Structure 1
């Protein structure tokens, strides 16, 4: 059972609930980009250079890394080094569409892993010295997505005053 508009299965199983939670926060990440121009999406809003588009690029890298690499699935060739700050910044030659599309492809690839594997499936990320379960990865990626969605909420408010965790039913910001 879900409440209209929020997609949460309030009486769903564990995997369904975790996946719905991840999707809900992924959608919030994309909503934070709506209605802004390219300069606003790239504008560094903290001393470290945090910007909305860079956070989306990072989250795409996270989804490919944790879901696909960990479980031996194909990852598209990356044009940046995900093990450095390159996945948190946007270069002058990178377009908004390129980054948003990259996030969409990473999300779709991760969804295939989530759909095809049981929660207790084990994988090993090359940067870890132990195996992790799909359950652990789902929780970890939800945590990372929520953390960065919160950053995006603050950055968006600093840019144009837009606030809120989720798109209101009326479609406003």
Structure 2
């Protein structure tokens, strides 16, 4: 069953739950696929399910950790290569990278108030509230892309694993 945003929850709890719903959808969209299916380019620009997972991991580290001066693992790729899957990168490796980024982001979310500010890589001052909203938007957008790609690969549909 898919997570739900609490119907009467506080702001931070509700924002975090909303982000988690979309994060869970991202993970299930690559679940059960073989290496070829997960990395298969599905658009003329080369978008693949695994590339989207890699991108989302990188931006979780960037927005939640680097913006707020929190620890982030070093990336082994250039920022502009975050949607490219190299031959030596496996689904298992990229999914584990996403899980670690999510855990690091959750530590930042749990430790900081919504009003806490940090500095983005563009030099802008942003609040944790703004970052949560931005990441809900970004993750939901890419989870929607992943809905379409997964359906094209094997017909699986929906925003959560079937019961």
- Tell whether the structures are fold-level matches, with TM greater than 0.5: yes
RMSD over aligned CA atoms reads: 1.1
2:129 match: 135
2:38 match: 41
1:117 aligns with one of 112, 117, 134: 112
1:167 match: 161
1:76 match: 73
Could you tell me how far apart the structure 1 residues matched to 2:20 and 2:89 are? Answer: 25
Q: Secondary structure at the match of 1:32?
A: helix
How do 1:146-157 and structure 2 match up within 5 A? 146-157=140-151
Which consecutive unaligned segments of at least 5 residues does structure 2 have?
none
Q: CA deviation at 1:5?
A: 4.9
Aligned residues: 163
Does residue 91 in structure 1 map to residue 102 in structure 2?
Answer: no
Does residue 16 in structure 1 map to residue 13 in structure 2?
Answer: yes
TM-score (norm 2): 0.97
Which consecutive unaligned segments of at least 5 residues does structure 1 have?
none
Q: CA deviation at 1:95?
A: 1.2
TM-score (norm 1): 0.91
- Runs (4+) of structure 1 moved beyond 3 Å? none
Q: CA deviation at 1:167?
A: 2.1
Q: CA deviation at 1:6?
A: 2.4
Q: CA deviation at 1:8?
A: 2.1
Q: CA deviation at 1:77?
A: 1.3
Deviation by residue 1:21-57 (Cα, 9 ceiling, x = unmatched): 0001000000001121110000000000000001000
